[in-house]
């Protein structure tokens, strides 16, 4: 009973927005803001960060906002050895009406909770966390770019910090949130990208963690991404299985807009079968398209053989990636088994329409429940 009582008391005291402690920069600690034209993804950080520490005995400590600073980590911290770490990526936008808005933060927090569980890290109160993040953005609000092509990228990060080399559940952890003003994710802007599709490299697999936003899903991809760049491509199209199923593109979900064999227009994206990340942008595009009711919207497995057949039969209208960093990113070509397949772009372009629709929501040109006031 005593043990059960302890567990309950930990659970009953999650981090609370009302406990938030704020240590604000002195004027000399404030840093100059970069020009919007100089915004490289994830290079510039704002003046403040949010931290909430946790340990298995006392549960969550109170959240603290303080000036951006280095972390002091024991060199034996589990995050540095066994990659017990996860993150989220979401954005805040400065509307054309001057209001600051978040895009569907509840979805990102729900995914963060499911990744935390799979990572043996503790769960937390998503609504309280969103309140704390909003407060962080309010404090650093001048860092939200005055631009409708830029935004403030929000990086909640969760790491295991206990200094012990046993491969075991962590007893100490730190959840922190960084903010970065960002321009377009790809330096080429909205220019279409070329993909390398090589089945010898596999990103995720059934029984693994491909649907989780764990750090562990990223490290193995970087060498392959480099191989694709050496071959003149911009991103990797990740395939899976003997039939070369399309799964993800780089760090994005993938969408195909095509005519099916009956000549009907169809938007196809791989299903949430555990192999791919359940993207918030992916979900949003599916919901928009289903709402439009103008073409078929299908979540199903799609193979390279089908893509090639559709390409040859001129049924392929458009392929694009979708994710928080880029929102929508058109694909110009796929290199596969020694051939280069040029991907057409439909006119009017569906990816452009999605981008415009999302952008109108992000920048407050239309009112939409997905855009949440800060």
Residue 32 in contact with a second copy, rule: CB under 8 A: no
Single residue of 90, 137, 180, 196 touching a second copy by CB under 8 A: 180
Minimum distance from CB of 2 to a second copy (Å)?
Answer: 20
Contacts of 241 (CB under 8 A, 6+ apart): none
Residue 217 in contact with a second copy, rule: CB under 8 A: yes
In the DSSP assignment, the letter for residue 77 is B
Minimum distance from CB of 120 to a second copy (Å)?
Answer: 5
Binding region for a second copy (CB under 8 A) out of 136-144, 215-223, 282-290, 339-347: 215-223
Judged by beta carbon, residue 161 or residue 357, the one nearer a second copy is 161
Judged by beta carbon, residue 163 or residue 344, the one nearer a second copy is 163
Residue 189 in contact with a second copy, rule: CB under 8 A: no
Phi/psi of residue 17, nearest 5 degrees: -60, -35
Residue 56 in contact with a second copy, rule: CB under 8 A: no
Structural contact between residues 96 and 268, judged by C-beta atoms closer than 8 angstroms = no
Residues 100 and 190: their CA atoms lie apart, in Å, by: 24
Judged by beta carbon, residue 203 or residue 282, the one nearer a second copy is 203
| 55, HSE (Cβ side, Cα atoms, 13 Å) | 6
Minimum distance from CB of 206 to a second copy (Å)?
Answer: 7
Q: Is 260 exposed, middle or buried (0-12, 13-18, 19+ CB in 10 A)?
A: middle
Residue 372 in contact with a second copy, rule: CB under 8 A: no
Minimum distance from CB of 39 to a second copy (Å)?
Answer: 12
Single residue of 7, 24, 99, 219 touching a second copy by CB under 8 A: 219
Q: According to CB under 8 A, which residues from 80 to 119 bind a second copy? A: 80-85, 87, 117-119
In the DSSP assignment, the letter for residue 241 is T
Token pair 């996860």 is found at 86
Q: According to CB under 8 A, which residues from 243 to 262 bind a second copy? A: 250-251
Binding region for a second copy (CB under 8 A) out of 103-111, 144-152, 200-208, 300-308: 200-208
Structural contact between residues 147 and 94, judged by C-beta atoms closer than 8 angstroms = yes
Residue 176 in contact with a second copy, rule: CB under 8 A: yes
Single residue of 27, 75, 338, 369 touching a second copy by CB under 8 A: 75
Single residue of 14, 192, 215, 323 touching a second copy by CB under 8 A: 215
Single residue of 23, 43, 314, 356 touching a second copy by CB under 8 A: 43
In the DSSP assignment, the letter for residue 36 is G
Nearest to 118, CA basis, from 161, 141, 88, 85: 85
Single residue of 24, 71, 99, 305 touching a second copy by CB under 8 A: 71
Nearest to 196, CA basis, from 230, 170, 235: 235
What CA dihedral angle connects 101, 106, 108 and 113, to 10 degrees?
150
Residue 23 in contact with a second copy, rule: CB under 8 A: no
Structural contact between residues 160 and 77, judged by C-beta atoms closer than 8 angstroms = yes
Token pair 């290079």 is found at 43
Q: According to CB under 8 A, which residues from 269 to 328 bind a second copy? A: none
Residues binding a second copy: number (CB under 8 A): 65
Residues 112 and 174: their CA atoms lie apart, in Å, by: 14
Single residue of 167, 230, 262, 339 touching a second copy by CB under 8 A: 167
Residues 4 and 2: their CA atoms lie apart, in Å, by: 5
Residue 199 in contact with a second copy, rule: CB under 8 A: yes
Structural contact between residues 50 and 176, judged by C-beta atoms closer than 8 angstroms = yes
Residue ranges binding a second copy (CB under 8 A) = 40-43, 45, 49, 68-76, 79-85, 87, 117-120, 153, 155, 157, 159, 163-169, 176, 178, 180, 199-202, 205-209, 212, 214-223, 225-226, 250-251
């Amino acid at each position: 009973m005593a043990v059960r009582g302890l567990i309950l008391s930990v659970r009953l005291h999650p981090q609370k927005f009302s406990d938030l402690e704020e240590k604000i920069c002195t004027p000399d600690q404030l840093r100059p803001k970069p020009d919007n034209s100089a915004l490289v993804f994830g290079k510039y950080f704002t003046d403040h960060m949010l931290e909430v520490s946790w340990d298995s005995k006392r549960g969550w400590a109170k959240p603290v906002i303080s000036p951006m600073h280095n972390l002091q980590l024991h060199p034996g911290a589990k995050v540095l050895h066994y990659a017990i770490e996860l993150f989220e990526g979401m954005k805040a936008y400065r509307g054309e009406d001057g209001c600051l808005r978040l895009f569907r933060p509840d979805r990102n927090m729900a995914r963060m909770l499911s990744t935390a569980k799979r990572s043996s890290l503790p769960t937390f109160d998503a609504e309280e966390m969103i309140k704390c993040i909003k407060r962080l953005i309010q404090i650093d609000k001048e860092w939200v770019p005055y631009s409708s092509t830029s935004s403030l990228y929000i990086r909640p990060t969760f790491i295991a910090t206990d200094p012990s080399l046993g491969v075991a559940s962590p007893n100490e952890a730190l959840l922190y949130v960084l903010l970065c003003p960002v321009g377009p994710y790809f330096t080429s802007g909205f220019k279409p990208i070329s993909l390398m599709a090589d089945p010898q490299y596999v990103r995720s697999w059934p029984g693994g963690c491909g649907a989780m936003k764990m750090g562990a899903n990223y490290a193995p991809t970087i060498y392959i991404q480099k191989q694709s760049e050496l071959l003149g491509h911009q991103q990797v199209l990740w395939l899976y299985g003997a039939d070369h199923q399309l799964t993800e593109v780089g760090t994005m979900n993938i969408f195909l807009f095509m005519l099916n064999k009956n000549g009907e227009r169809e938007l196809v994206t791989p299903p949430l079968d555990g192999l791919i990340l359940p993207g918030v942008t992916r979900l949003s595009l599916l919901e928009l398209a289903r709402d439009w009711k103008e073409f078929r919207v299908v979540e199903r497995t799609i193979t390279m053989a089908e893509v090639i057949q559709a390409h040859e039969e001129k049924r392929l209208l458009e392929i694009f990636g979708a994710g928080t960093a880029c929102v929508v990113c058109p694909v110009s070509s796929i290199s596969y088994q020694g051939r280069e397949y040029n991907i057409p772009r439909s006119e009017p372009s569906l990816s452009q329409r999605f981008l415009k629709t999302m952008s109108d929501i992000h920048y407050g040109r239309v009112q939409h429940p997905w855009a949440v006031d800060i």
